[in-house]
């Protein structure tokens, strides 16, 4: 039977890069706001022994797709632990709304949804910590989608503190340009020494996205988009870009601004949520808390 699973997007309400680690990753402080808007995964468990993606994503080889990699990673780990028979397989299909290379966490969210879905459908019953550890092998953003809670994040993104945020409305605009996260984080001009601050100070004071200047230098379209948003609201870059967002107190105000967005860009309205839509369906919510 084919099952349907939400795969929500996220915004980085701020992103401060504290230092660069010896392994090439960065220590950061960021605030993940989950959204009520995202992709949809269709997952069917079977006994084929194969992981099959029905429709490839443009420009992404199936073996490199985080959806396929997540399914294979879970399958191999479960087999190693004696939790899964050799014939366990799955057919996967994605209905994509979140733009690739937009900074909305689409790939990481897709991987998290597949891990949660197949953990349930294959009856493996790995804990949330086990799934998050597996997800971290794929991307630093996967764990926040596994836990399914808007969170303050430290380390490389894996140290999560759940936080209750006000459910604001967001206008998110994609400039039809994808940004390569690797290039942004390896740019020599990237700020890597923002002072460490306590969460309470970050919430009360000014914050920013250290990737913004580099992303704007890489892509003139982002520069133009931020200039346009600034005429109507305060613009923010999410992640390494390329999407720019602005927050509004009401859905009406967000839609009024959306109606003004130039045709060359793609916009949508989303509401911030504290619990992922992934756990609003008939699947047991993990009881264990984030460390």
* Binding site, annotated residues for ATP: 99-109
- Catalytic residue flag (residue 210): no
- Catalytic residue flag (residue 168): no
Catalytic pick among 10, 39, 77, 210: 10
- Residue-wise DSSP of the chain: -EEEEEEEEEEEEEEEEEEE-TTS-EEEEEEEEEEEEEEEEEEEEESSS-EEESSPPTT--GGG-HHHHHHHHHHHHHHHTT-S-TT-EEEEEEE--SPTTSSS-HHHHHHHHHHHHHHHHTT----HHHHHHHHHTT-TTHHHHHHTB-EEEETTTTEEEE------EEEEEE-S----HHHHHT-TTS---PPP--HHHHHHS---BTTHHHHHHH-HHHHHHHHHHHTTS--EE-TTSS-EEEEESSHHHHHHHHTTS-TTSEEEEEEEESB-GGGSSSSPPP-SPP-
Contact present, 290 and 149 (Cβ < 8 Å): yes
Omega of the bond leading into 100 within 30 degrees of 0 (cis): no
Catalytic pick among 39, 77, 141, 210: 141
Instruction: Please give the C-alpha separations between residue 131 and each of 22, 74, 169, 211, 268, in angstroms, as whole numbers.
Output: 26, 8, 30, 29, 31
State the binding site.
99-109
Listed residue (90, 93, 147) closest to 122, CA to CA? 90
Active-site positions read 10, 141
């Amino acid at each position: 039977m084919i099952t349907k699973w939400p795969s929500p997007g996220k915004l980085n309400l701020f992103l401060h890069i504290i230092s660069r680690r010896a392994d090439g990753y960065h220590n950061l402080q960021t605030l993940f706001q989950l959204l009520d808007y995202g992709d949809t995964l269709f997952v069917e468990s079977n006994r084929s022994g194969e992981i099959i993606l029905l429709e490839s994503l443009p420009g992404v080889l199936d073996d490199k797709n985080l959806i396929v990699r997540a399914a294979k990673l879970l399958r191999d780990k479960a087999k190693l632990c004696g939790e899964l028979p050799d014939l366990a397989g799955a057919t996967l299909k994605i209905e994509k709304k979140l733009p690739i290379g937009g900074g909305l966490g689409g790939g990481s969210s897709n991987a998290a949804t597949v891990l949660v879905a197949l953990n349930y459908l294959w009856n493996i019953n790995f804990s949330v910590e086990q799934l998050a550890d597996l997800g971290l092998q794929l991307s630093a953003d996967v764990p926040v989608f596994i836990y399914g809670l808007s969170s303050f994040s430290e380390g490389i993104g894996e140290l999560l503190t759940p936080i209750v945020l006000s459910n604001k409305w967001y206008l998110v605009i994609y400039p039809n340009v994808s940004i390569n996260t690797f290039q942004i984080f390896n740019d020599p001009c990237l700020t890597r020494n923002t002072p460490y601050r306590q969460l309470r100070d970050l919430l009360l004071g000014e914050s920013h996205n250290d990737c913004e200047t580099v992303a704007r230098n890489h892509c003139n379209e982002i520069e133009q988009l931020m200039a346009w948003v600034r005429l109507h609201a305060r613009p923010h870059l999410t992640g390494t870009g390329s999407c720019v967002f602005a927050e509004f107190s009401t859905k009406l105000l967000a839609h009024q601004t959306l109606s003004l967005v130039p045709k060359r860009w793609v916009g949508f309205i989303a509401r911030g949520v504290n619990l992922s839509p992934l756990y609003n369906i008939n699947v047991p919510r993990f009881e264990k808390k984030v460390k």
